[in-house]
Structure 1
Amino acid sequence: MTKNVRVRFAPSPTGPLHIGGVRTALFNYLFAKKNNGTFVLRVEDTDQNRYVEGAEQYIIDSLNWCNIPFDEGPGKNEKFGPYRQSERKHLYKQYADELIASGNAYYAFDTAETLDFHRKDHEAKGKTFIYNWHNRLKLSNSLSLSAEETQTKLDAGEDYVIRFKSPQDETLHLTDIIRGDIKIDTNILDDKVLFKSDGMPTYHLANIVDDHLMEITHVIRGEEWLPSLALHYQLYKAFGWETPEFAHLPLILKPTGKGKLSKRDGDKLGFPVFPLKWTDPKSGDISRGYKEDGYFPEAMVNFLAFLGWNPGTEQEIFDLDALINAFELERVNKSGARFDPDKIKWFNHHYMQEQSNDVLAESFKSQHSELAEIDVNYIAMAIGLVKERATFISDYWDLTHYFFVAPSEYDEKASKKAFKEDTKPLMTQLIEMIDGIDDFSVVNLQTKIKGWITSNDIGFGKVMMPLRLALVGALQGPDVFDIMFMIGKNESIKRIEKVINKL
């Protein structure tokens, strides 16, 4: 590539950043880093009616948590600032005027009532109303009016919009990196509104102007913008600007594979659709986030990368550097990607195993007041024994509580299986034997206790099951001898005595 790659993520601050938006940001980030380019954040906040307080900071926090921070944007390396469209309003009118001067756009004064009448009239005749060359001259605009009439309306302060003049009887040949060659008949295109008399541009004009002024080389965005591609190509042509390359990412589908993933799907099936927890500033409603639900950012990024992209191999585990090296837009699929809540858990389980026990112990300890006085190194040792069974840090209490607190009750079904008529005398003998062990290491405990069972011709289940129940309260957990070593001789004997007293 001859030009320095510059991509942008351009969300609207109308609420929390959806998981689909995070995926779009991620693909932009990966492409930029793969090509030693720049990842730009632009906030498209021209629709002030839908602006939500705190949403912009939420977007930035989400990108930072995912470890895909922007290189350039609000408050950071503002080479092409400002990066909020609301602060760029003064730029757009001159470009709208330029399109009018070149004959590529025109003023339109039609009222909402007039346009509604024409739509209904067309529907009654089995047709679709399209505001373009078919009917421009029948409507109130600077193409049907004289220059004097148009100026009179403008001087009188009549409401107007500026529409793009879509060409007649042309075939557009467009190219998309993901979808290949696209042909579009201009006769079916609307003359889209670009600018309004209130001084605000529409998305289409602001988007094109900003991408040009910010020297964006590749526009990587969601499939929902594919219908706008024809207009955007034509706008670049009308301005005489170099067109960036386009890539439209596939939709993220519901877990069923039918329809676009929504917050409602997450609420219904019990998984988040936002990266971070979000509290609605108006209603106070709280939406769950992947961070607060215990997911690692590495797991989320790895999972999202595979929603629509694959490396062409069987490999599924990629850290961020590996993703950057492997990522190619040409390997992004056209078809929608099904969101699988179980798959992201699978990724999270993998990245859990990659975490250091010390780091996990600190996090686990901070979540449980019961552990306040417990040495973090002891907690880390306990985590190391059960780690392979954990998917979330929140799983550790269920998996390790017996290392910190003696069981207060015993699993009923397991008790019926483990406690027999001879259990009490066997456990009493076991206490005497344990009390005589000075070297309380795992290996020695295993040698002594197993040797005692064997030499006395006792069935292993007759001792090991009630022993495990005494220590854990259930027939689960890591090796019994690891547990005994961890809690120590006195606590081990104390727990066995407690079981004996219940028999």
Structure 2
Amino acid sequence: MSTSTVRTRIAPSPTGFLHLGTARTALYSWAFARHHGGEFVLRIEDTDVARSTQDSVDQILAAMAWLGLGHDEGPVYQMQRLDRYQQVIEQMIAAGTAYRCYATPDELDAMREAQKARGEKTRYDGRWRPAPGKPLPAVPAGVKPVVRFANPADGVVTWNDLVKGPISISNTEIDDLIIQRPPADDAPEGTPGVPTYNFAVVVDDWDMRITHVFRGDEHINNTPWQINIWRAMAGGTPLPNYGHCPIILGDDGLKLSKRRGAVSVTAYEDAGYLPEGMLNYLARLGWSHGDDELFSLEQMVQWFDGSHLAKSPAQWDPAKLAWVNAQHLKAADDSRLAALVAGQLGKRGITSANAALADGRLAAMCALFKDRCSTTVELADWLAMYFAPVTPSDEERAAHLGDVIRPALATLAAQLDTASWDKAGIAAAMKATLGAHGLKMPQLAMPLRVLVCGRAQTPSVDAVLALFEKKIVVERLQCF
């Protein structure tokens, strides 16, 4: 490898949404490259033609953009590189490190059944692998061959994993992997075959000069094949440094995955999480910097040198994610939150919030209520009362809206109707009402909140009311 520049990559398969484990891997890869002043590549591994979709590609790109993990190169699509893979295939066949195999699916099934019957491990038996003095079967008519990698028959593959430490796997444990499948039957003449994952990823990492690969530890068993293919293809040039991160476990203790239990990254955007909250939480699912629980993306880049990665699986904890996000929400710019809340309210058909966004009132509302919320959805739940009618629960009405308080609320409505519309004016109107009816503040404030806000608990009531339009407050009081 002819570069000293650190280059990392994320290479999702567009067969579904970008799930949380891949997002964490993307974060580690991105942060490592940024820490070392390197480059981060986005690659779309779309050779699973039957299951890859454009919708999945769009969702992956949207998720990466929302997280703010910008790439320096890409997106690179594998299906646009078939000619390159074919070129390498031909070179390897000529060098004797790959060969064409004409065994049919029925033959392979019979081979495996015979191996099982003998109590042997099922594996390809090398029947089409060339060897000096070995006669090969006659090429069958009408059978399109696959191409297999001639894996070394003995020896041990060893690498020093960035997470796990030294790992060794014997070549006797792995067989001659299929590295290219034939093109579809209806493909035009001369169409290259489709590479398999373990082959394409090696060619891509070589061509893109990838120096460090962070990925899930389910790929550990693929790594010996990839190292052997690399050495067969690229000779003695340095391998990438591999780091296999432990899986993320769901609430049930089983692996989160695209097919089981994982929620898409963009679903968390829709649910009102902030990207910095999600990144902070994901980073701590397998990495630590002392006892730091809360940090910015800039701090993570400063700290993330590839060390302190956990060797054990992490447990997904929705409550911890909500807490982390709440801390970032409190620190977020109020104008930015206002735009996000306006979007959340817009999904509910509440478009009148746009005027409050424009004149700055919505930002002031966010500043007042954000300490009580974990997400912008919760913030929108609070702030909807400013723009849409409220319906107190039967329990709140029974507890706070008896006939005894009705005269005081009527007096308060009249006082507020003529008050200057700010905290001081509202506080003066409430004080006058308390004096006129011989009440204490909680006796008035609770019913007031229930009628105007739909709930008995809010921040300071004069601050809350000051952000309403006066007309709305008076009308809600007069409706009692």
Alpha-carbon spacing, 1:58–1:416, altered in 2? closer, same or farther (3 Å): closer
Alpha carbons of 1:179 and 1:373: their partners in 2 closer, same or farther (altered >3 Å)?
closer
Q: Distance in 2 between matches of 1:488 and 1:162?
A: 73
* Contact 1:16-1:274 at 8 Å conserved across structures: yes
Q: Given residue 288 of structure 2, which amino acid in structure 1 is its aligned partner?
A: N
Contact 1:471 1:483 in 2 (8 A): no
1:126 aligns with 2:119: yes
Q: 1:93 to 1:399 in 2, by over 3 A?
A: closer
Q: Which amino acid aligns with 1:259?
A: K
Question: 2:288 matched to 1:314?
Answer: no
Letter in 1 for 2:394: E
- 2:222 is paired with a residue of what secondary structure? helix
Shift of residue 255 of structure 1? 2.1
Q: Which has the higher contact order (CA 8 A, sep 6+)?
A: 2
Counterparts of residues 160-309 of structure 1 (less than 5 Å): 160-198=145-183, 199-239=193-233, 240=235, 241-266=237-262, 273-276=263-266, 289-309=267-287
| Corresponding residue for residue 35 of structure 1 | 36
- In structure 1, the residue matched to 2:329 is 352
Rounded Cα–Cα distance in structure 1 between residues aligned with 2:411 and 2:45: 75
The alpha-carbon deviation at position 497 of structure 1 amounts to: 3.7
8 A contact 1:107–1:142 mirrored in 2: no
SS at match of 1:207: helix
1:362–1:376: 8 Å Cα contact kept in structure 2? Answer: no
In the alignment, the residues of structure 2 paired with residue 18 and residue 487 of structure 1 have an alpha-carbon distance, to the nearest angstrom, of: 41
Q: Structure 2 length as normaliser, TM-score?
A: 0.84
For residues 431 and 438 of structure 2, the distance between their equivalents in structure 1, rounded to whole angstroms, comes to 11
* Paired residue type of 2:453: V
Where 2:455 maps in the other structure, the secondary structure is coil
Alpha-carbon deviation of 1:72? Answer: 0.8
1:252 counterpart letter in structure 2: I
**2: CA distance, partners of 1:393 / 1:22:** 21
Q: CA deviation at 1:434?
A: 5.8
The separation in 2 between residues aligned to 1:369 and 1:122, in whole angstroms, is 68
Q: Which amino acid aligns with 1:393?
A: T
> Which residue of structure 1 lines up, in the alignment, with residue 378 of structure 2?
395
Give the Cα–Cα distance (whole angstroms) in 1 for the partners of residues 62 and 182 of structure 2.
35
Instruction: Rate the CA distance shift 1:95–1:353 in 2: closer, same or farther, 3 A.
Output: same
- Does the Cα contact within 8 Å between 1:109 and 1:141 map onto a contact in 2? no
Structure 2 residue corresponding to 1:371, chosen from 353, 364, 375: 353
Write the mapping of 1:72-91 to structure 2, written as runs, cut at 5 A.
72-74=73-75, 83-91=76-84
AA partner of residue 21 (structure 2): G
CA distance in 1, matches of 2:311, 2:224: 18
Alignment of 1:108-127 (within 5 A): 108-127=101-120
Cα distance change on mapping 1:477 and 1:236 into 2, 3 Å? same
Q: In structure 2, how many angstroms separate the alpha carbons of the residues matched to 1:346 and 1:220?
A: 27
Indicate the larger mover: 89-98 or 220-229: 89-98
Range with greater deviation from structure 2 (47-56 or 239-248): 47-56
- Structure 1 stretches of 4+ with a deviation exceeding 6 A read none
SS at match of 2:269: coil
| Contact 1:236 1:242 (C-alpha < 8 Å) held by counterparts | no
1:284 aligns with none
Residues 212-250 of structure 1: per-residue CA shift (max 9 Å, x gap): 122111122222211011112222333313212111122
1:369/1:195 CA distance change after superposition, 3 Å: closer
> Conserved in 1, the CA contact under 8 Å of 2:446 and 2:457?
no
Distance 1:119 1:448, change over 3 A: same
For residue 50 of structure 1, give the secondary structure of its aligned residue in structure 2.
coil
Q: Is the 8 A contact 1:219 1:247 kept in 2?
A: yes
Is the partner of 1:153 in helix, strand or coil?
A: coil
- Give me the whole-angstrom Cα distance separating, in 1, the residues matched to 2:298 and 2:386: 38
Within the candidate set 79, 88, 91, 1:95 is matched to 88
The alignment's C-alpha RMSD in Å is 3.2
Conserved in 2, the CA contact under 8 Å of 1:423 and 1:463?
yes
Change (3 A) 1:481 1:143: same
Inter-partner Cα distance in structure 2 for 1:191 and 1:103: 13
1:93–1:396: structure 2 CA closer, same or farther, 3 Å change rule? closer
Question: Which amino acid letter does the alignment assign opposite residue 315 of structure 1?
Answer: D
After TM superposition, give the deviation of residue 103 of structure 1 in Å: 4.0
Structure-2 change in CA distance of 1:260 and 1:384 (3 Å):
closer
Contact 1:104 1:164 in 2 (8 A): yes
Distance in 2, matches of 1:434 and 1:200, equals 74
Structure 2: how far apart are the matches of 1:425 and 1:97?
A: 92
Structure 1 residue 29: Cα displacement: 0.8
Query: Could you tell me how far apart the structure 1 residues matched to 2:109 and 2:33 are?
Result: 45
**Residue 480 (str. 1) matches residue 461 (str. 2):** yes
Q: Read off the aligned partner of 2:60 and give its amino acid letter.
A: I
Counterpart contact for 1:256–1:338, Cα < 8 Å: no
2:259 and 2:220 mapped to 1: Cα distance?
23
Change (3 A) 1:427 1:201: closer
Match of 2:131 in 1: 143
Question: Which residue does the alignment assign to 2:300?
Answer: 323
For residues 379 and 4 of structure 2, the distance between their equivalents in structure 1, rounded to whole angstroms, comes to 50
Q: For 2:395 and 2:248, how far apart are their aligned partners in 1?
A: 44
Equivalent residue, structure 2, for 1:382 = 365
Deviations 1:131-181 (A, max 9, x none): 3xxx43xx344338757x67x739x77533333333344233322111111
Give TM-score, length-normalised by structure 1.
Answer: 0.81
Aligned residue pairs total 462
CA deviations on 1:52-93 (whole Å, 9 max, x unpaired) are 13433432232222111210124xxxxxxxx32223222334
Q: Which amino acid aligns with 1:130?
A: R
1:88-132 Cα distance to aligned partner (Å, 9 max, x none):
22233443344344443344332222221121112123222223x
Identity of aligned residues (%): 29
Q: Which runs of 5+ in 1 are unaligned?
A: 75-82, 267-272, 277-288
Deviation of residue 394 (structure 1)?
3.0
- Contact 2:104–2:143, Cα closer than 8 Å, also in 1: no
Query: Could you tell me which amino acid in structure 2 is paired with residue 468 of structure 1?
Result: R
Compared CA separation, residues 126 and 87, structure 1 to 2 (3 A):
same
Could you tell me which residue of structure 2 aligns to residue 269 of structure 1?
none
Match of 2:189 in 1: none
Residue 182 of structure 1 aligns with an amino acid whose one-letter code is I
Equivalent residue, structure 2, for 1:5: 6
Task: Return closer, same or farther for 1:53/1:316 CA change in 2, 3 Å cut-off.
Answer: same
Unaligned runs of 5+ residues in structure 2 are: 184-192
Q: Structure 1's 415 and 173: CA in aligned 2 closer, same or farther, altered over 3 A?
A: closer
Amino acid across the alignment from 1:33:
R
Larger-Rg structure: 1
Q: Which amino acid aligns with 2:194?
A: M
* Partner Cα distance (1:490, 1:52) in 2: 52
SS in 1 for 2:40: strand
TM superposition shift of 1:336 = 1.9
Instruction: Mark the CA change 1:121 to 1:357 in structure 2 (over 3 Å): closer, same or farther.
Output: same
**1:277-313 deviation line (CA, Å, top 9, x unaligned):** xxxxxxxxxxxx22223222222222222222222x2
